[in-house]
A and B are shown apart, each in its own frame.
Chain A
Amino acid sequence: MLLSLNWLSDYIKLKKTPEQIAERLTMSSIEVESVTREAEGFRNIVTGKVLACGKHPQADRLKVCRVSTGKEERTIVCGAPNVAAGQKVAVALPGAVVTSMKTGERVEIKATVLRGVESQGMICGEDELGLSGPSAGIMVLPDATPVGVGIAEYIGKTDVVIELAVLAHRGDCMGHLGVAREVAALFDVRLAERKYALPKASGKKKLHVTVEDGDLCGRYSGLIISGIDAKMQSPQWLQDRLVKVGERPINFVVDLTNYIMHDLGQPLHAFDYDQLRGQQITIRGSRDGEKIAVIGGGEYALPVGSIVIEDSERLVDLAGIKGAAVSSFSDKTTTLFLEAAAMQGVAIRRTSRRIGLRSEAVGYFEKGVDAQVLMNVLSKAFVVLKQHMPSVQLEGIVDVRKKIPAASKVKFRPERVAQLGGVNVPSTIAQNALTRLGFVIKKKSKSEWVISVPSWRRDVSMEEDLVEEVVRIIGYEKIPATLPIANIRAAAPDPQLRWQRRIKQLLADQGGFEVINFSFLSPQRLREIGQEAKDHVKVQNPLSEDQQYLRSELVSGLLNVARTNSQRGEGQVFFEFGRVFFPGSPDVVEKNQLTMCVVGEGAFLRAKGFAENVLEAMGVQASSTVLVRPDNWRECAYWNMFAEGQAADFREANVHLGVVSMVDPKVLKNFDLQKPVAFCTLYVDALVERARTVRQYAAFSRFPIIELDVAAFVPQRVTWAEIEKSVEDLREPIMQEVHLLDVYVGRGVPEGQRSIAFRVTFQSPDRTLRAEEADVVLAKVWKQLEQRFGAQIRK
């Protein structure tokens, strides 16, 4: 909302700078977004006198003037045909900003040389000062004009416009009167609020008004006014005021409704009385299937429960939002019905949002208007109208009082200011603060007051509200900063959060970069990773098509990060820890996942290694097995990301704890990734359930170990897991550990075979082993490998 300080001075006299007012408003009432001085646009433009005016030596159409600006004289080259010696003029000095008549843009004036003559400024036309449209020459001021005065001051452009962001619950601060009331209370000055009276109505014209639902419209008031000159322009002062608050003057009647709204905070609506058929209107909630064509074009199907006004035949107004095209004030109107009503903000807001039609009035109604003052508002409107359009006559007055909220009374204990606000305020000061704001205090006792809330403060309904009123008037800055007194207690443990942090730190310490991607996926992204929309939670009102779905995996985001960073070095590791979402009934299923992506050579085993480190840190023993594509794999879109035969899962018993896989080359291509990429996803929720936080000590043997190595050629199809298991199957008590040393395929290894070397560790818990004991077991290992896999032991 824009506020003019000159306008504000209709209500209060205050000797404070605009900045002081802005500061106090911001701290205690309404946030100030900007303070703009009108004079700012006229800086370095002063009145001057043309002392002499001669021909330019090089150009016929230019003149060289000698101009006095009071303290000094300067030479200015001027192209205006009407410039002459002896004139009083407006002079833009270097540094001034004026409107260029060539481009229409604001340009800064600089000292410059024009055809060989230096010009130290510019003599301005009204157009260049932004005071009018294109004008033929310079602005010539009256002879009596003093020289050397700032032009803004001279032409009265001294107002200051403040842009305010009124809080959502403070409808009373909409309009200049409302702000004046706040400023008066804040600075403790008197508010000059006038009551207006209406002349007696002739009673010649009537309008029968029915309000069906008092909740939708608490009070409906209006004036029937004849003798309207619909095309009359507003008086200049009114036009000026409207322009300052951002309105475009149209004609007097329309301007008047806007003026009153900005002045008193109550939207008005102007009907063409003769278009209200049957001389009757009904205010009611809309019914199913109703439509309305509004002024300015557009027909809207209304949601049920919108507030509409109907005459004997048709809808004539979408109340609080826009008037109907058929019945609104137009330049043919001779008799006006001017409405002021207390409409329900919630209904107006809801309809406005549903049909996507907003007007300034909506902003006023949704914050709340004061039903008590409607007749005073209309009276002022009539008084201003009559003053400038003497032909008007008041023919009729309508005032249906359906449901006007009673002045509320709130219990208030002054001690609560300290108890809640933490600041000690003597009760005399609290009393003064509340009184300044228009609250009426009745003291039941020293410690318990009953406060009557003024009609415009519908937001105040409980004791806490009053505490806030007192504290904001004395100033929030008076609240001291203290630390709370409480029993000490350790923060509650939360395994989920503890592991989140531990795992992320572990991966970062081992070279991983944590990334954070948006939780949204585009339809294109779904296609790129072979997933289907039906498996995803859909956002009903996305910001763009690209953010339509909630992610169900973290892989695609990481592949995108890999693409972003593809020029940034080798072997990168990225990971993200976050929520993924699945459609569920009734609720969306939300899960924690950790996914890492490893780029480059050896990606698979590196990814797996990271996962194993995480599992080890959490104390979870998981086995990894080859992922075999199930029959119903098409139901799980994830499969489209796994590279064939290069995927494994982690599980404990039969619970899946994660997957690790190379990314399918087709998917990689969609992300412009040339290097191999592996990803690993861990299902964090399942892991946290299994994590061991308290570990039990297991005694270890202090006797020497014997290590024996086994090297063998084994058929390609045999997995390491099978080999390991075959060794463990021997269940030799002295065999402690089987540990892979090397896998090799290449020169010297028979076709179809792999060379596998591993080390077996032997140890006894209670004695020193003899070498022969280990050798015996080693021979069994050899035999096992030969028998199970046809391995060829390399002795």
Chain B
Amino acid sequence: MHEHFTEIENRVRQHLPLVVDLSTWEKYYHETLGRRGELTQALRAVGEMPEAERREAGRMGNIVKQRVELLFSKRREELGGMQTQATTSIDVTLPGKRQVNGRLHPVSILKYQIWDIFQSMGFDVHETQEVESDFFNFQALNMPPDHPARDMQDTFYISDDVLLRTHATSFQGRVLKGATLPLRAISTGRCFRRDSDMTHTPMFHQFDGIMVDEKVTMADLKGTLQEVMSRLLEKEVKVRFRYSYFPFVEPGAEFDVSCSLCDGRGCRTCKGTGWLEMGGAGMIHPKVFGAVGINPKKYQGWAFGFGIERPFMIKHGVGDIRLLYENDVRFLEQF
């Protein structure tokens, strides 16, 4: 019995320095000195010993117990001098102990909102390559070489027919080729244009969506965009179309949303017009279907595309796009 007590004490001596936090300490204390603790059990066992040995063993056991208790309380002090809950009141106004909260980048936050909105409507999400072929970025979208519309998208070239995609619209050909129809899908991701000022960075993000079926119309496109933009800006907005030209849609439109800041009454952000320019939209051009082997006599579809930064900036009142790519924590932690 004597040896058993010594062994327990030695183990505690050896083990306690390894206890580095209070919860482990609690657990270990309990395992040793708790009601069913090892030492408590051993002391209890003394009572069942022969009369002759009991006295000596009891004395020994109590000494060990005192020593072990001392070891535990010392260790507890070392671990932070914390007092037990029962003895003192807590200053409940102290700030809570917590881990640093990180953040997703603002563009990601909005991007995932977009995913959620569209996925809830059964749209597949794609992120296709950023280094893209001239074919998928331009030709399949009815922009043959030297098409003037290519000017609207000043392009970074890697080689004569490889480039950094100028719009997320490049996903259309890739997704439509060999697709099972009907189909609805969006694409998000980085795009690149040779442009740099307050509202343009050479790299930016877009999302682009298509719906191909036998009977979808431009009215459906308008309704879908109105639904999506209201969810995204977290405010009921109206969508309007303006006549415009994108080689990959016909009829084509620019689409605006009613200004979410002034509810269409006119403010600085919407330059007094009550409308915010958002992006392009329209019915998929038969030549786009032709380029990917879809019969334009049977199917029709709509498409739209716009930047991720712009709705973000409008929604959160950010005036300069470059803030998004400085990655200053003072900016990032606000969202």
The stretch of B43-51, B57-65, B82-90, B327-335 in contact with A is B327-335
Tell me which of A471, A573, A795 contacts B251 (CB under 8 A).
A471
CB of A462 within 8 A of CB of B286, answer yes
A709/B18 contact (C-beta < 8 A), A419-B217, A464-B250, A476-B241 known = yes
* A residues 242-267 in Cβ contact with B at 8 Å: none
With both chains docked as a complex, state the minimum distance between the C-beta of B313 and any C-beta of chain A, in angstroms.
Answer: 15
With both chains docked as a complex, state the minimum distance between the C-beta of A15 and any C-beta of chain B, in angstroms.
Answer: 24
CB of A468 within 8 A of CB of B251, answer yes
With both chains docked as a complex, state the minimum distance between the C-beta of B234 and any C-beta of chain A, in angstroms.
Answer: 19
Which chain B positions have C-beta within 8 A of A482?
A: 217, 219-220, 222-223
With both chains docked as a complex, state the minimum distance between the C-beta of B319 and any C-beta of chain A, in angstroms.
Answer: 18
Roughly how many angstroms separate A437 CA and B108 CA in the complex, as a whole number? 46
The stretch of B70-78, B147-155, B166-174 in contact with A is B147-155
A167/B244 contact (C-beta < 8 A), A420-B217, A471-B251, A587-B162 known = yes
CB of B104 within 8 A of CB of A564, answer no
Roughly how many angstroms separate A477 CA and B241 CA in the complex, as a whole number? 6
Roughly how many angstroms separate A170 CA and B201 CA in the complex, as a whole number? 29
User: CB of A542 within 8 A of chain B?
Assistant: yes
Roughly how many angstroms separate A757 CA and B126 CA in the complex, as a whole number? 49
CB of B192 within 8 A of CB of A519, answer yes
CB of A514 within 8 A of CB of B102, answer yes
A421/B251 contact (C-beta < 8 A), A480-B222, A481-B239, A709-B18 known = yes
A464/B283 contact (C-beta < 8 A), A511-B102, A564-B327, A711-B18 known = yes
Which chain A positions have C-beta within 8 A of B100?
A: 511, 571
Which chain B positions have C-beta within 8 A of A26?
A: 242
CB of A168 within 8 A of CB of B220, answer no
User: CB of B215 within 8 A of chain A?
Assistant: yes
Q: Which residue of A lies closest to B302 (CB)?
A: A484
Which chain A positions have C-beta within 8 A of B149?
A: 168-169
CB of B217 within 8 A of CB of A490, answer no
A538/B104 contact (C-beta < 8 A), A492-B124, A513-B333 known = no
* A residues 466-507 in Cβ contact with B at 8 Å: 467-468, 471-472, 476-477, 479-492, 494, 496-497, 500-501, 504-505, 507
CB of A476 within 8 A of CB of B104, answer no
A513/B103 contact (C-beta < 8 A), A350-B146, A472-B243, A537-B158 known = yes
The stretch of A27-35, A91-99, A713-721 in contact with B is A27-35
A504/B108 contact (C-beta < 8 A), A476-B243, A519-B203, A550-B131 known = yes
CB of A561 within 8 A of CB of B327, answer yes
Roughly how many angstroms separate A538 CA and B162 CA in the complex, as a whole number? 11
With both chains docked as a complex, state the minimum distance between the C-beta of A345 and any C-beta of chain B, in angstroms.
Answer: 7
A483/B202 contact (C-beta < 8 A), A516-B107, A568-B330 known = no
Roughly how many angstroms separate A27 CA and B255 CA in the complex, as a whole number? 10
User: CB of A789 within 8 A of chain B?
Assistant: no
* B residues 166-214 in Cβ contact with A at 8 Å: 182, 184, 190, 192, 194-196, 201-203, 211, 213
Tell me which of B107, B211, B222 contacts A479 (CB under 8 A).
B222
User: CB of A349 within 8 A of chain B?
Assistant: yes
CB of B196 within 8 A of CB of A465, answer no
User: CB of B326 within 8 A of chain A?
Assistant: yes
CB of A543 within 8 A of CB of B127, answer no
Q: Which residue of A lies closest to B225 (CB)?
A: A481
User: CB of B119 within 8 A of chain A?
Assistant: yes
Roughly how many angstroms separate A494 CA and B103 CA in the complex, as a whole number? 23
CB of A519 within 8 A of CB of B329, answer no
CB of A421 within 8 A of CB of B243, answer no
CB of B219 within 8 A of CB of A481, answer yes
* B residues 103-137 in Cβ contact with A at 8 Å: 103-105, 107-108, 112, 115, 118-119, 122-127, 129-131
Roughly how many angstroms separate A468 CA and B285 CA in the complex, as a whole number? 12
With both chains docked as a complex, state the minimum distance between the C-beta of A169 and any C-beta of chain B, in angstroms.
Answer: 5
CB of A543 within 8 A of CB of B226, answer no
CB of A468 within 8 A of CB of B250, answer yes
Which chain A positions have C-beta within 8 A of B250?
A: 462, 464-465, 467-468
CB of A541 within 8 A of CB of B156, answer yes
CB of B130 within 8 A of CB of A422, answer no
CB of A366 within 8 A of CB of B148, answer yes
Which chain A positions have C-beta within 8 A of B66?
A: none
User: CB of A176 within 8 A of chain B?
Assistant: no
User: CB of A448 within 8 A of chain B?
Assistant: no
User: CB of B99 within 8 A of chain A?
Assistant: yes
User: CB of A572 within 8 A of chain B?
Assistant: yes
User: CB of B245 within 8 A of chain A?
Assistant: yes
Which chain A positions have C-beta within 8 A of B253?
A: 476
* A residues 360-377 in Cβ contact with B at 8 Å: 366-367
Roughly how many angstroms separate A795 CA and B203 CA in the complex, as a whole number? 62
Q: Which residue of A lies closest to B24 (CB)?
A: A741
A508/B104 contact (C-beta < 8 A), A476-B241, A516-B324, A564-B327 known = yes
Tell me which of B14, B162, B329 contacts A565 (CB under 8 A).
B329
Which chain B positions have C-beta within 8 A of A494?
A: 124-126
Roughly how many angstroms separate A28 CA and B100 CA in the complex, as a whole number? 53
Which chain A positions have C-beta within 8 A of B115?
A: 497, 501
Roughly how many angstroms separate A479 CA and B103 CA in the complex, as a whole number? 41
User: CB of B227 within 8 A of chain A?
Assistant: yes
Q: Which residue of B lies closest to A489 (CB)?
A: B122
Q: Which residue of B lies closest to A707 (CB)?
A: B31
User: CB of B97 within 8 A of chain A?
Assistant: no
Which chain A positions have C-beta within 8 A of B226?
A: 481
Which chain A positions have C-beta within 8 A of B203?
A: 518-520
Roughly how many angstroms separate A476 CA and B256 CA in the complex, as a whole number? 12
Which chain B positions have C-beta within 8 A of A513?
A: 102-103, 327, 329, 332-333
CB of A484 within 8 A of CB of B220, answer yes
User: CB of A509 within 8 A of chain B?
Assistant: yes
A419/B162 contact (C-beta < 8 A), A471-B251, A494-B126, A513-B102 known = no
CB of B329 within 8 A of CB of A572, answer yes
Roughly how many angstroms separate A518 CA and B243 CA in the complex, as a whole number? 34
Roughly how many angstroms separate A795 CA and B239 CA in the complex, as a whole number? 77
With both chains docked as a complex, state the minimum distance between the C-beta of A738 and any C-beta of chain B, in angstroms.
Answer: 14
Pairs A–B under 8 Å by Cβ, sample size 7: A467-B250, A481-B226, A511-B100, A520-B203, A539-B164, A540-B157, A709-B15
B contacts, CB < 8 Å to A:
10, 14-15, 18, 20, 99-105, 107-108, 112, 115, 118-119, 122-127, 129-131, 146-149, 151-152, 156-159, 162, 164, 182, 184, 190, 192, 194-196, 201-203, 211, 213, 215-224, 226-227, 238-245, 247, 250-254, 283, 285-286, 300, 324-330, 332-333
